[in-house]
Chains A and B, each alone.
Chain A
Amino acid sequence: MTETPTPAPPRPRAKQRPATVGLKRFVFHLVLIAAAMVMIYPLLWMLSASLKPIDEIFADPGLLPSSWEWGNYAEGWNALPHPFEKYIWNSMLIVAGSILGNLVSCSMAAYAFARLRFPMRGMLFAVMLGTIMLPIHVVIIPQYILFNNLGWVDTFWPLIVPKLLATDAFFVFLMVQFIRGLPKELDEAASIDGCGYWGTYLRVIMPLCMPALATTAIFTFIWTWNDFYSQLIYLRDVDLQTVPLALRLFMDSTGTTNWGALFAMSIVALGPIFGFFLAGQRYLVRGIATTGIK
């Protein structure tokens, strides 16, 4: 048994390389591609619907439009009280605040729960989990009264301040699980090095939690971007409305729904979250592998 894991010598795998591995890999990718088709179908469907004339969207289930209605995009962009970039901008502001809030406040709380000993830790942890067990619909009215009395209705504060105060217990719990998975010897080493609790949190735990932080950022972006209900309740002013609210403005269940514009703008609305996901997943890196050894 060696003390330090020296780079393992290349295994004698070469023997089985030529034919079987190539075939295996081919089948592997074939299966993945088939599965990917199932996953990507809704996007293709939406894309096709966004380019179809209105009398074809529901009557013809095929994916290819008979004529390409690029005008749906131009129309959708400008059909609402504000041009669509205004809604994207409003959504971006809320998303930015939420990500910042969740990353800082949830990781702080998680560090305390995972690593520090303090009175009533178990009970507070249970309370923290309990806060996500009550359906939003019954707390929304009391919460609304609270924010209304603070004069915060028709501002972004009711959507951002809760994130700054770590009310998304989901992420606290997520990071608790990640931090508890880290070897505690790391903290102890840091402590011996003279790091205080803040130093340990900032210099040891956070860098190693990069995958969890990336996950938090990605999920916060997506969930906030798609969140309809609380934005509906708190953002009534047409100037403050966001992407999910704007998408609904094309719809009228008993009147005219502008389907072409609706699907076109739904595709547009997907852009930022997909882009953020692509960028963010690169940070799902090997925390310890990159910072710990080698």
Chain B
Amino acid sequence: MTDNDVAVVRPKQRSSGAPPGPAASGPPPSPERARRRTGASIRSRERWAALSFLSPWLIGLLAITIGPMIASFYLSFTDYSLGYGEWVGGENYARMFDDPRLANAIKVTAVYTFVSVPLQLAAALLLAIVLDRGLRGMAFYRSIFYLPSLLGGSVAIAIMWRQVFGTEGLVNQVLALFGIQGEGWVSHPDYALGTLIILHVWTFGSPMIIFLAGLRQIPTMYYEAAKIDGAGVMQRFVSVTLPLLTPIIFFNLVLQIINSFQSFTQAFIISSGKGGPADSTMFLTLYLYDQGFTQFDMGYASAIAWLLLAIIAIFTALNFLMSKFWVFYGDND
């Protein structure tokens, strides 16, 4: 028995036209195996195996992760500051309703997330598909396109970004050629967030790499089968690439939403982390940081963090619910 026998199963399905997924559900899980052993012993064996595979993660969760999370939840009910804290009940949460800067921070973060994530993912997917071809020089292009993401929160990026989008920056010099008098993009309250969105889209390298890895995992036999069926480039993309890539698209979507809700370093590029001009780039995490580390109000900061967690969790849950309708897994569970 080799993988060869397995491999032939799928092209057969492919050739029937439907993408592999719930629509073309495969054979019921392992009938032979079920016949060989009793169901109960398999289940118990599987549980023990799961426990052993999960054990590092479980230890990490219990020892390192969950404790500090609970602690921060507890702190959100105190006025903790530099090592001291008293129980204040729900005061920190009540305070949120009367905090215009917080409301503004939520708005800024939401706009940022819902504009930049789709744009960034579209750019990443497009480039990944283009660069996935086996053409000469593609490795070179991949590296170049990934460069902006390598630089991370480097100070050089901050300085350069201001020189590009500044009042006398590169962008305005180009605009001046067309007789347009540009604004100081990074420093005008109406445009600063826009330049951060551009910055975010520009660092599409990480999702691009993940898409590339995903594309590499699509078995070539599917394409070959589709080709034999006479499917064109576009048709192959729609009926093979896209469905098989949905788990990865879904991953990128979920993670990018989480990440951009937690955007922090980006704002340092424009305002040295002050959220300016005039709070126009005051992200939620930046505001949280300001409260916790500049004003030493860790209690309120923790409350904001849990608000943020609630918001992210709602969007993630929605994402998972909707994924049932468009994400196709190979495991047909």
Q: Do chains A and B touch in the complex (CB under 8 A)?
A: yes
**Stretch from B50-58, B100-108, B113-121 contacting the other chain:** B50-58
* A189–B255 CB distance below 8 A: no
* B156–A46 CB distance below 8 A: yes
Is B239 positioned at the interface, with any CB of A under 8 Å from its CB? no
The answer, among A2, A177, A196, A291, for a CB contact under 8 Å with B3, is: A291
* A287–B4 CB distance below 8 A: no
A274–B149 Cα distance when bound, in Å, is 11
Interface size class of B (residues with CB under 8 A): 35 or more
Is A109 positioned at the interface, with any CB of B under 8 Å from its CB? yes
Q: What A residues does B312 contact at CB under 8 A?
A: 133
Determine chain B's interface SS by DSSP, over half rule: helix
* B293–A137 CB distance below 8 A: yes
A175–B259 Cα distance when bound, in Å, is 18
Interface string of A46-57 (1 = CB under 8 A from B): 100100000000
* A112–B316 CB distance below 8 A: no
* A39–B305 CB distance below 8 A: no
Interface residues of B in 246-287 (CB under 8 A from A): 247-248, 250-251, 254-255, 258, 262, 264, 285
* B151–A42 CB distance below 8 A: yes
Q: What A residues does B213 contact at CB under 8 A?
A: 178, 211-212, 214-215, 284
Could you tell me the distance in whole angstroms from the C-beta of B142 to the nearest C-beta in chain A? Answer: 6
Interface residues of A in 168-222 (CB under 8 A from B): 170, 172-174, 177-178, 180-186, 188-189, 191-193, 196-198, 201, 208, 211-212, 214-215, 218-219, 222
Could you tell me the distance in whole angstroms from the C-beta of B53 to the nearest C-beta in chain A? Answer: 4
Q: What A residues does B224 contact at CB under 8 A?
A: 5, 8
Given contacts A162-B60, A251-B155, A277-B150, contact A197 B298 (CB under 8 A): no
A281–B147 Cα distance when bound, in Å, is 13
Q: What A residues does B244 contact at CB under 8 A?
A: 181
A-B pairs with the 10 shortest C-beta distances?
A165-B60, A211-B213, A142-B71, A142-B68, A226-B152, A112-B53, A118-B50, A109-B57, A166-B57, A197-B49
Other than A46-B151, A138-B288, A226-B152, give 20 A-B pairs with Cβ distance below 8 A. A5-B221, A8-B228, A32-B141, A41-B160, A41-B164, A58-B159, A109-B57, A111-B53, A117-B43, A117-B47, A135-B285, A135-B288, A137-B285, A146-B67, A165-B60, A165-B61, A174-B251, A266-B154, A288-B221, A293-B221
B residues contacting A by CB (< 8 A) are: 1, 3-12, 15, 20, 26-27, 29-30, 32-33, 43, 45-47, 49-51, 53-54, 56-57, 59-61, 63-69, 71-72, 75, 130, 137, 139, 141-157, 159-160, 163-164, 169-170, 202, 206, 209-210, 212-214, 216-221, 224-225, 227-228, 244, 247-248, 250-251, 254-255, 258, 262, 264, 285, 288-289, 292-293, 298, 301-302, 305-306, 308-309, 312-313, 316, 329-332
